[in-house]
Structure 1
Amino acid sequence: MSKKPLVLDIDGTFLRTDMLLESFWSGMGRAPLETLRASARHWRDRARLKAELAQLGAPRVDLMPVNPKVMEMAKVAQAQGHEVILASASDRSLVEPLAAHHGLSSRVFASDGQTNLKGDAKAEALVEAFGARGFHYAGNELADMPIWQQADDTILVGDVPGARAALEADGHNVTELASGWKWRALMKAMRPHQYVKNVLLLLPLLAAHNFGLSALMPVLLAIVAFSAAASTIYLVNDLLDLDADRLHPTKKNRPFASGALPLSVGMLAVGLLAAIAIGVAAALNAAFLGVVLLYMVLSLAYSLKLKRMRWVDIATLAALYTLRVVAGAAAGEIFVSGFMLVFVFPVFVTLGCVKRLTELTLATSDERLPGRGYGRPDRSDLLNVAGLGMFGSMLVFFLYTFTEQAQQLYPTQWLLWLAMLPLGGWLFRMVSLGYKGKQDYDPIVFAMRDRHGISLILFTLTLMFYAAGLFHEAFGV
């Protein structure tokens, strides 16, 4: 191998991500309206679009995931005396600091707001600088074919159909480096384990003692719609939180943050999942469709802005959990008591505080969490609010036992009072474990795996079913 320079493409080659999409999603997190306006104005002018989005988003190039095989190849080439140069259709304002951060040549080739340096344009620029066959080139897509044809040695990163045969027929020495993504990365990003939260849609059925198939079947379909809607928001949230996730001790391993899943695949999945959620919701009834749309809009607002606002974020989390209960009632066309909604909201406020307490306890410093409005000194305030949520929910439950509806549904009133003990114990356990950092980052998911907590919930439900006389009706006991 001669001392010809090694030229590396960036998107999908040197980096396991796309700098234009990184700029777009970073911009959506910082200035969503301006980012959308810039995208609409310049979507035909790629060079101008990249320049404006790079300025609006200002993504952290030092955090972007690098392809380890390409990086290793670059270090070997440098050790052998080759100049390693980045050449990309991404904007120069991002390419230059990326090269500097990784110790590569300060000479870069990039788009400049006027010329989109892709395909033929990049080939012409490299031939002008080094001559035909005067450089080696690594790329990852068919758009790189004009550059490979002008290069000496060619490196194919990932699967590029037909490229190897064409280049070898033209006399090129071809090296292939494996790359790509796996379906399990997409499934991980969709977070199917979070679907367990959607059991909350069944609460109205339990509260109304309505266990018939005519009510159950639409609620099960509603769970499918809510699961798709939730995955849509999880994907969008991860796309918006790329920099913050990469700074987090565990979230840095998420598929988008780590580069295991291309941002473009995630965006396609967002569109498909949103269509499933809205389509199933529309097929059920207008009320449920309205709840799903409200849930998605509020979730998006949470991802874009509200999660960074102290206390507002916890109230929003509680509202999103409460909307699941409302959704179950709307899907099954079941009446929900105002007492039930007033009861579950402070419960979810408590669990929202538990989520933040867990994050802060597991934090490694007193600084505010990336993308959040809290630091470790706020733990005492969060604990106080969690306590208020516990007290409020227990008070509402107690007052409900005196209502006419409660006396009709639960003839044995004292058993309802007794059920408050394990329920309060469960809430206290959740708060205590969160404060000690002995939970994971989602209290609802943790609750569904916590054997001791599940025992307390089942004991609560058993007492309530006895109070309602359901066991006597079913089993004669």
Structure 2
Amino acid sequence: MSDIDVAVLPYNQQVLELMARAKANGRHLVLATATHRILAERIADHLGCFDEVLSTDNTLNLSAHRKKDTLVDRFGEGGFEYVGNSGDDIEVWRSAESAVVVNPERGVERRARKAANVTAVLETRRSQLRAWMKALRLHQWMKNILVFVPLLASHNLTDLSLLAEGLLAFLFFGICASSVYLLNDLLDLNDDRHHPTKKHRPFAAGIIPIKLGLLAFPGLLFTAFLGAWLLLPIEFLGVLLVYYALTLGYSLWLKRFMAVDVIALASLYTVRIIAGAAALSLPLTFWILGFSVFIFLSLALVKRYAELHEARIQGKKERARGRGYYPSDLEMISSLGAASGYMAVMVLALYIQDDATRTLYSQPQIIWLACPVLLFWITRVWLLTHRGEMHDDPVIFAAKDKVSLLTGGLLAIIFFIAT
């Protein structure tokens, strides 16, 4: 509780305006909440508009009928107007002179109108469907396309049975990843509320109630593991467990350590490729793993650079909140990131000379054309990042950037011709 910064909590602007008007009219404002007194008083001090605080303490949980009894004892039956949103507030509204309902839970407005004199209903929530899509990061599912890399590398893309298993792996990986994104946002609430863009995430902004997230993330996780256990090889389930453990470790601990965080991020991408091989019972090669580790480490460093670049623009010099880096680390991060990207191209060049490559491609020398194309893309990504023009997620940037899409198409044509 002591870690909560009340200055960045998602306050409802319409409710604040309602309180300001009441204060201007000489009304006595009371913060009556089931929140513990320590936090309630900090919120009241921050807002600076309340005359009195009634809250939970070590002897009383001020919710539902207990809140009603306290308010009636203090102001008398029908002697107060009450603003609330939940089913627990029905009891309070029964004894209030009038009721203001704010962003009510399902069925609460109907019950409130039966129980009390509802004078206003404030509905300020955005589309819940859109908010859930954002919270589940459905757009991030494109990263799970990596599970098909072993299928492409083995030239078995036309095998419909393998393709079907790949689609199942893609689905279960996506569900598991969404579960992790929900958990990560719940764990990072305080840090996200201090971030210039992450503060708009559904949980940080108060668009989706935290209690719904606490129900959703284990449900999704159970669905992903049950589906993987029933429909795919047990090896895939094992890799999925490794992915979840690594992601959980990253969310709880690893992301706070310099260098460890980006290596963990790069590993999470590589694990997707390993999961694809496990789901399809296809072999993995040194070349696929080597290339993926270096290219994804480069992209992870792009992500960190973009975050720190924004902090430097804002004039910050202290360590980034929840991270192990300072804005002064930018130059070193860019050097390491560009070098890692070029190492990925080196792995690709060495792959062309491997004897196994000659058995997969009729014209493996054509793949040499992919090297300058990939060098161009990596160089461009880092130059844009250096200029501050990079999205905080380079994978999302690549999916929307026309030049990146054209580069991907050109690489696909090169490998097709080589085949």
TM range (shorter): over 0.9
- Report what 1:131 is aligned to: 76
Name the CA distance, whole Å, in 1 between partners of 2:372 and 2:358.
19
1:439 counterpart = 2:386:
no
The code of the aligned residue for 2:72 comes to V
The code of the aligned residue for 1:204 comes to P
Name the CA distance, whole Å, in 1 between partners of 2:120 and 2:188.
35
Contact 2:294 2:343 in 1 (8 A): yes
1:407 counterpart = 2:358:
yes
Q: Post-superposition shift, 1:345?
A: 0.3
Q: What TM-score results when the alignment is normalised by the length of structure 2?
A: 0.92
State the Cα RMSD in Å: 1.9
- Report what 1:18 is aligned to: none
- Report what 1:423 is aligned to: 374
CA spacing shift, 1:130–1:224, aligned 2, 3 Å: same
2:131 aligned to which of 164, 169, 185: 185
2:203 aligned to which of 228, 234, 256: 256
1:90 counterpart = 2:23:
no
Name the CA distance, whole Å, in 2 between partners of 1:388 and 1:198.
25
Identity of aligned residues (%): 38
1:346 counterpart = 2:294:
yes
Q: Post-superposition shift, 1:161?
A: 4.7
Q: Post-superposition shift, 1:397?
A: 2.1
Query: What are the within-5 Å matches in structure 2 for residues 311-322 of structure 1?
Result: 311-322=259-270
- Report what 2:255 is aligned to: 307
- Report what 1:146 is aligned to: 91
- Report what 2:10 is aligned to: 65
The code of the aligned residue for 1:85 comes to V
| 1:275 partner SS | helix
1:176 counterpart = 2:149:
no
Q: Post-superposition shift, 1:174?
A: 4.0
Q: Post-superposition shift, 1:106?
A: 4.8
- Report what 2:167 is aligned to: 220
Contact 1:222 1:280 in 2 (8 A): no
- Report what 1:31 is aligned to: none
Mean Cα displacement is larger for which, 249-258 or 124-133? Answer: 124-133
Mean Cα displacement is larger for which, 320-329 or 396-405? Answer: 396-405
> Which ranges of structure 1 fall in alignment gaps of 5 or more residues?
1-53, 469-477
- Report what 2:146 is aligned to: 200
Q: Post-superposition shift, 1:353?
A: 0.9
Q: Post-superposition shift, 1:404?
A: 2.3
- Report what 1:365 is aligned to: 315
- Report what 1:374 is aligned to: 325
- Report what 2:271 is aligned to: 323
Name the CA distance, whole Å, in 2 between partners of 1:88 and 1:165.
21
Runs of 4+ residues deviating >3 angstroms: 172-175
CA spacing shift, 1:180–1:387, aligned 2, 3 Å: closer
| CA offset digits 1:211-235 (Å, max 9, x no partner) | 1112111011111111111211111
CA spacing shift, 1:290–1:136, aligned 2, 3 Å: same
> Which ranges of structure 2 fall in alignment gaps of 5 or more residues?
none
Mean Cα displacement is larger for which, 249-258 or 177-186? Answer: 177-186
The code of the aligned residue for 2:38 comes to S
| CA offset digits 1:392-423 (Å, max 9, x no partner) | 22222222223221121124332222321112
Q: Post-superposition shift, 1:105?
A: 2.4
The code of the aligned residue for 1:365 comes to G
The code of the aligned residue for 1:207 comes to A
Mean Cα displacement is larger for which, 364-373 or 196-205? Answer: 364-373
Name the CA distance, whole Å, in 1 between partners of 2:400 and 2:281.
30
CA spacing shift, 1:161–1:75, aligned 2, 3 Å: closer
Contact 1:365 1:376 in 2 (8 A): no
Name the CA distance, whole Å, in 2 between partners of 1:248 and 1:292.
30
| 2:203 partner SS | helix
Q: Post-superposition shift, 1:206?
A: 1.2
Contact 2:137 2:181 in 1 (8 A): yes
